[in-house]
Amino acid sequence: MDTLKHPNFSIVKSKESFYNMWADIVLQELKRIIYAEIVEFRFSFKHDTDEPKIEDHIIRLLELYSPGQIYCLFWMAIRQADNNRTSGTWGNYTYHHIDFILKKVEETESKKQKMNEPIKSFDYPRNLNTTLLTNIFFQEVARESNWFDNRIPGKELVGLHDKKIPFYDDLKDREVQTFNGLGIMEINYYYFTSYGVVINDGLVDWLFADEKTLYSIAQQVGFSGTEDVSESAYLHLNVPYYIHEIYSTRYLLSLVQFLVDSEYEQYLPPKDAMYKDRLEGELHDNEHIPF
């Protein structure tokens, strides 16, 4: 999922959902790393089943090893496969590159087990950057700086409630709490949606929403543009709105009242109506997601 990049962890409601997020983030990071290695060595995804096979293999390995150890297994396997390809000793795998790599992973793992040798834990590759979601999750929520070297903790060991406290403390600092008017912002028109207030300033549409809602939107639409942890977390959310801040419920209620009492035009342009209806429908259909 290169989706979720800035979750609202204040609404993770169970240890199981917290564990699932941890496991899924690790899975996506390993897939990014392994795919980059496969592309670098010019192996190809030739079949629709190739990517699911890799994912299933990673999931199995995560029950036994840390992400760093799994990266090590694939790192060695891909290079062994490349050597076999170069020497012409890879048999009938010419059109089954991924199967051959996975075969090498299994052989390497089996050899280490038989010789009672530990599998090394590699560092996260320097040529790649972790996603913004990964940074936020492990720095601010899980408080686990060594996640790449450690196995995923069992569901019963996650310690969700202990982990949530710092997030609640930080949430107030991230949200704009008090509405004091919109200052110098021009208001051409505005409209209300189930996911926030949209204000057009004559040039762009601004979205005012709380963090829970922005995270739910991120689940559906993902992000575009270049990630930069120094930027506003939702700046590159893949929506036709400009998002500068996140806002508390108190702020949003005051903003709504201000607009209703004002003489500004409430107007939903036809070009926006279709997108609004589609996004509201997607968010409604996925209300069961426990985030």
Positions in the chain short of pLDDT 70: 1-15, 140, 155-172, 184, 225-233, 286-291
Please tell me the predicted confidence (pLDDT) of residue 2. 38
Please tell me the predicted confidence (pLDDT) of residue 232. 61
DSSP character at residue 193: E
Q: Is the pTM of this model over 0.75?
A: no
State the Cα–Cα distance between residues 213 and 22, nearest whole angstrom.
Answer: 21
Residues 152 and 19 sit within 8 Å (Cβ to Cβ): yes
Please tell me the predicted confidence (pLDDT) of residue 226. 52
DSSP character at residue 269: -
Please tell me the predicted confidence (pLDDT) of residue 222. 81
Please tell me the predicted confidence (pLDDT) of residue 229. 44
Task: Give burial (CB, 10 Å; 0-12/13-18/19+) of 69.
Answer: buried
Residues 286 and 218 sit within 8 Å (Cβ to Cβ): no
Please tell me the predicted confidence (pLDDT) of residue 267. 95
Please tell me the predicted confidence (pLDDT) of residue 6. 42
Q: pLDDT tens digits, residue range 23-81? A: 999 999 999 999 999 999 999 998 999 999 999 999 999 999 999 999 999 999 999 99
